[in-house]
Structure 1
Amino acid sequence: MVDHLHSLRQRRRKRRAETPARGGADQRVAVIGLGRFGSSLAGELMRRGWDVLGIDTDARLVQRYSDSLTHAAVADCTEAEALRQLGVHEFTSAVVAIGNDVEASILVSSNLLEAEVPNLWAKAISRQHGQILERLGVHHVVLPEHEMGERVAHLVTGRMLDFIEFDDDYALVKTVAPQVVTGMPLGESQVRRRYGVTVVGIKRPGEGFTYATADTVVQKGDVLVVTGKTHAVESFAELS
């Protein structure tokens, strides 16, 4: 195991030396946990040109993704020494993508924080799990199932085409333009004053998105990108 890890670190150093820097940014990331979430994330990061080290305790998962990732290793990252031997402390970014094992998620996150990884993301499976990770000091906590559930609920129950909510009760919505704002410039319809939202983009059928201005005339069938407080954008999207 130690020989394998030593060889892995040597290969990573060689690849790093041979690969030109991308604008000075360190585009290396360790993804710990290669289940559905972790493997999907790792694959997308690879597609975007990142150097990805995938780690899991399941040798079958590691074997499955070994050819599609920059590096892959079988290791138990609840042990701080395993992280050290893999050189994860040298990375500026790491993602704890462990599934239902809350204890392992917490232990691995603690080890990465102890190793002073500057940019740590961790998946949580519940709000309570997320709160624990935040108290540990994890920089970014994501609840993919919960957040996707909320997002889909907004799409199913309303006229929204897409919905993204941020932590401070602020949201961005894509919706078909309500009739009450069509046929006139945005400045004249006074969307911000009347509805408490800002239209930042507009898309006409068959055209691409463009920035919206006060002089933009909204037409029937236009798709708008709207921002504002969550309750305000929800109400705006429900207008007829």
Structure 2
Amino acid sequence: MAEKLRDTSSSTTRNAPRTPKKDSGVLVIGLGRFGSAIAATLDRLGQDVLAVERDPDLVAQWAGRVALVEADATNPEALEQLGAREFPVAVVGVGSYIEASVLIAGNLVDLGVPQIWAKAISAEHARILQRIGAHHVILPEADAGARVAHLVSGKLLDYIEVEDGFTVVKMRPPKETQGFTLAQSNIRERYGVTVIGVKSPGIDFQYATPETRISQNDIIIVSGHAELLERFAARP
């Protein structure tokens, strides 16, 4: 028999959260630092969110701030009872307890949730989640470490790896591009990367065109494969 779920979303706090629409909302399981950041941000952006947490202390902490149900998501009957299969997106924010993370992700796969995002704490954990059917696996610490390494090692001001090595960076322009238009400097043909935007001091961000002229004090947004971007950023 399924455990009894405790819905805390009807708290009498002043700004009570919305009741999520299951057919368009996001189910966030686990309210640790990762899951709570996702739930709070989605709620602030106006997205429908239902959080699931089994720790009474975290439930008490978040009650009234987001729509929240106290339940053990490792129990498939509990997920059935709260209507998990009706959500188009679910996020498994449980990472520290690998067994619980895998059980929850597996339950969501069995329920046929269309998009499952899951946090992993190691490469092995990530592989297990991918093999059981999680659609997107995030390694927050590894991703953050790789990003910081790129930022401290050169001229990159920001670094976002999108997928399969495709990356977008924010950087200062190499000297050889300064004073020239993108057509003149021929960056794409010479380096295999694409300048997609330019931010000049005191001027709003502008999407790049062949006629865009790069100046010394500009910040440029460049996309391409990570290795090619690293070579381009290493130019003096």
* TM-score normalised by the chain length of structure 1: 0.89
Identify the residue that residue 218 of structure 1 maps to in structure 2: 214
Give a deviation string over 1:4-43, Cα, whole Å, max 9, x none.
46x97xxxxx946xx8xxxxx9531111110000001100
Query: 1:194: how far off?
Result: 1.4
Partner Cα separation in structure 1 for residue 49 and residue 152 of structure 2: 36
Partner Cα separation in structure 2 for residue 15 and residue 3 of structure 1: 16
- Does structure 1 retain, via aligned residues, the 8 Å contact 2:6–2:71? no
Tell me the percent identity.
45
Identify the residue that residue 12 of structure 2 maps to in structure 1: none
Verify: 1:83 aligned to 2:79, yes or no: yes
Residues 44 and 233 of structure 1: is their aligned pair in 2 closer, same or farther, counting only changes over 3 Å? same
1:196-215 equivalences in 2 (<5 Å): 196-215=192-211
Verify: 1:162 aligned to 2:164, yes or no: no
Give a deviation string over 1:153-193, Cα, whole Å, max 9, x none.
10011110111113322211110111110111110111111
1:7-26 equivalences in 2 (<5 Å): 15=19, 26=23
Partner Cα separation in structure 1 for residue 84 and residue 171 of structure 2: 43
Structure 2 unaligned segments of length 5 or more: list them: 10-17
Partner Cα separation in structure 2 for residue 107 and residue 183 of structure 1: 57
Identify the residue that residue 126 of structure 1 maps to in structure 2: 122
Residues 195 and 66 of structure 1: is their aligned pair in 2 closer, same or farther, counting only changes over 3 Å? same
1:153 to 149, 158, 164: 149
Task: Find the residue that maps to 1:2 and give its secondary structure.
Answer: coil
Alignment RMSD (CA, Å) = 2.0
- Does structure 2 retain, via aligned residues, the 8 Å contact 1:54–1:62? no
Residues 15 and 107 of structure 1: is their aligned pair in 2 closer, same or farther, counting only changes over 3 Å? closer
Partner Cα separation in structure 2 for residue 181 and residue 42 of structure 1: 43
Query: 1:2: how far off?
Result: 2.9
- Does structure 1 retain, via aligned residues, the 8 Å contact 2:5–2:69? no
Partner Cα separation in structure 1 for residue 23 and residue 228 of structure 2: 39
Residues 26 and 160 of structure 1: is their aligned pair in 2 closer, same or farther, counting only changes over 3 Å? farther
Task: Find the residue that maps to 1:89 and give its secondary structure.
Answer: helix
Partner Cα separation in structure 2 for residue 165 and residue 109 of structure 1: 24
Give a deviation string over 1:186-217, Cα, whole Å, max 9, x none.
10111111111111100101222101111111
Letter in 1 for 2:4: V
Greater share of helix residues, 1 or 2? 1
Task: Find the residue that maps to 1:100 and give its secondary structure.
Answer: coil
Verify: 1:60 aligned to 2:57, yes or no: yes
Identify the residue that residue 11 of structure 1 maps to in structure 2: none
Aligned length: 227
* TM-score normalised by the chain length of structure 2: 0.90
